Amino acid sequence: MGLYAALSIVRRLLIASLSRVQTRKEFELNRVLIEQLQATRWWFLLAVSALVGSQFIEETKFLQDFFRKATILIALVQVWIWSRPCLQYSIQKVTSTGKSSQQAAPIILFLLKTALLSILLLVGLDNLGVNITALIAGLGIGGIAVALALQNVLGDLFGSLSILLDKPFQTGDFVIVDEFAGTVERVGLKTTRIQSLTGEQLVFANSDLLASRIRNYKQMKKRRIVFPFGVTYQTSLENLKKIPNIVREVIEPIAEAELDRVHFHVFGDFSLNFEVVYFVSIPDYAIYMEVQQKINLGLMESFQKEGIEFAYPTQTVFVQKQESSG
């Protein structure tokens, strides 16, 4: 009983000492340690004291085995009690970087708890003398059968974890998957829901989604625009040389636009084609459309002043009159 009393006093002193912290970082770590000490049960301390005390007295082999097995079983239960706040704290620290990671926390925590509990149960059964080799073999065969039967469900489950941890996209991102486009609403255990531009909800299996090519426009830092236009073949050489400067004068005053280049690109079937490349500093699609509208109106106004005409599909037909003989 003396050892039990000593352990209890040490436990209380450690709790009191850890409670006297100043910085927030120390507080978070010490809070976990205090929870661990508070979770240390009296019957665990008593079992440890009894096991240590049994080493100093003469006793039968039966009693030695009894004390050893009882202490191991009690220690396994105590480890399970200790593990819960530790796992909770670790998962919170790892998944505190974003909303998607926080959504994955309950799944990861459940899987870790299940794995730990399975290990503790196997160790406990082995301590009681149960032959766990055959049990593990049976569980392995059963696990293979279950995995084969539920391979689609398990594929979607691990796909969900991959999405939540690897973060190819998050809730609220605008994505394009094959020919479908929309905003991510929710990442579930089996499916991901996307609200399409036309209003309906698209449901993708997580495994199928990861196997697809995904374009995530939310991760776009700035939007690159290739803007072609054509002028008529009747445009004079002097006016053709003016066009690059006209384009620069239209785009450069726009705050959200950054001109990259403008060139006379190619001789088309019915037009002389120019190619303009510029960047929009804000990736929002509505902002891009506003910028493009300003450019279009600016070019229309400037071209009208210079007498430059935009080209449109035309055909010129030459009719040759044949003279009649005779």
**Residue 300: HSE in the Cβ half-sphere, 13 Å Cα cutoff:** 6
Instruction: Specify the pairing of strand 272-280 against strand 191-196.
Output: unpaired
- Residue 252, pLDDT score: 93
Tokens of 253: 């005053």
Q: Are 210 and 163 in contact (CB under 8 A)?
A: yes
pLDDT for 28? 63
pLDDT given for residue 72 in this prediction = 79
pLDDT number for residue 188:
79
Question: CA 141 to CA 154: how far, in whole Å?
Answer: 17
Q: What is residue 12's predicted lDDT score, i.e. its pLDDT?
A: 73
Fold classified for 223-306: Alpha-Beta Plaits (3.30.70)
Question: Which pLDDT value is given to residue 299?
Answer: 95
> What are the φ and ψ backbone dihedral angles of 185, each rounded to 5 degrees?
-95, -45
> Residue 223 in contact with residue 297, Cβ under 8 Å?
no
What value, to the nearest 5°, has the Cα angle with vertex 315 and ends 313 and 319? 170
Q: What is the pLDDT of residue 296?
A: 95
Integer angstrom CA distances of residue 261 from 11, 31, 238, 317, 325: 72, 59, 20, 36, 59
In 188-283, at which residue ranges do the beta strands (DSSP E only) sit?
191-196, 201-205, 214-216, 223-231, 257-267, 272-280
Q: Which parts of the chain fold into alpha helices (H)?
A: 2-18, 24-38, 42-54, 61-94, 99-127, 132-149, 151-166, 206-210, 237-251, 285-306
> Same fold for the domain at 159-219 and the one at 223-306?
no
Per-residue pLDDT tens listing for the chain (326 residues): 566 677 677 777 776 776 666 455 556 666 767 777 777 776 777 777 776 666 666 656 666 677 777 777 888 788 877 777 777 777 766 666 555 556 666 767 777 777 788 887 877 777 777 776 766 666 666 666 665 655 666 677 777 777 777 778 888 888 888 888 888 988 877 888 999 888 889 998 888 888 888 888 887 888 899 999 999 999 999 999 999 999 999 999 999 999 999 999 999 988 999 999 999 998 888 899 999 999 999 999 999 999 999 998 877 777 777 666 55
The domain ranges of the chain are: 2-149, 159-219, 223-306
Tokens read off for 122? 């196997």
Q: What is the CATH number of domain 159-219?
A: 2.30.30.60
